[in-house]
Amino acid sequence: MMALVWPSVWLWGTVLTGTGFILLEIFQFIRLKAVYWADSWNYVDFASGVSIIAFIAVHFAGWSSEAEVGSGVVIVLLFALRLLQTASLHPAVGPLILAVVRMFSDISMFL
C-alpha cells in the first residue's frame, strides 16, 4: 500500500497567504471604488494579485515548470518593489532608495 503523499507546507502556506492578499485587495476595492485607482501603488497590488492567481493556476493545472518559475519570479519582483516602498518611509533608508531610483532614471536614457 502506498503512503499518502502530503503537499508541501510551503506551497499551501503561499497559496493561503496569496489568497488572503487577494481577498484584502478585493475588499479594499469594494470599499474605495474608483478612488482605489488614485493611488499608484494599488496598480502594483493589482499586478501582484493577478500574478498570484497565475501562479496558482499554472501550478495546479500542471503546465510547464518554466511558466511556474516565471510567475513566481514576477511575484517576488513585485513583492520586492512593495518592500522598497515600505522601506522608503524609514528616515535612514529612504534617501538611499530615492538616490538609487534617480540613478536608474539617469541610466535609463542610455538604454
Domain positions in the chain are 9-86
The model's pTM: 0.74
Q: What is the pLDDT of residue 6?
A: 66
Q: What is the pLDDT of residue 11?
A: 81
Q: Positive or negative, the Cα torsion across 32, 36, 41, 46? A: positive
Q: 18, 56 in Cβ contact below 8 A? A: yes
Q: What is the pLDDT of residue 5?
A: 62
Q: What is the pLDDT of residue 54?
A: 92
Per-residue pLDDT tens digits of the chain, which is 111 residues long: 555 566 688 888 888 999 999 999 999 999 999 999 998 889 999 999 999 999 999 988 888 889 989 998 999 999 998 888 888 888 888 888 888 888 888 898 887
In the chain, alpha helices (H): 9-32, 41-61, 65-87, 94-108
- Classified as helix, coil or strand, 91 is coil
Q: Which residue has the cell 506551497?
A: 11
Q: What is the pLDDT of residue 74?
A: 92
Instruction: Mention every residue, 6+ apart, whose C-beta is less than 8 A from residue 38.
Output: none
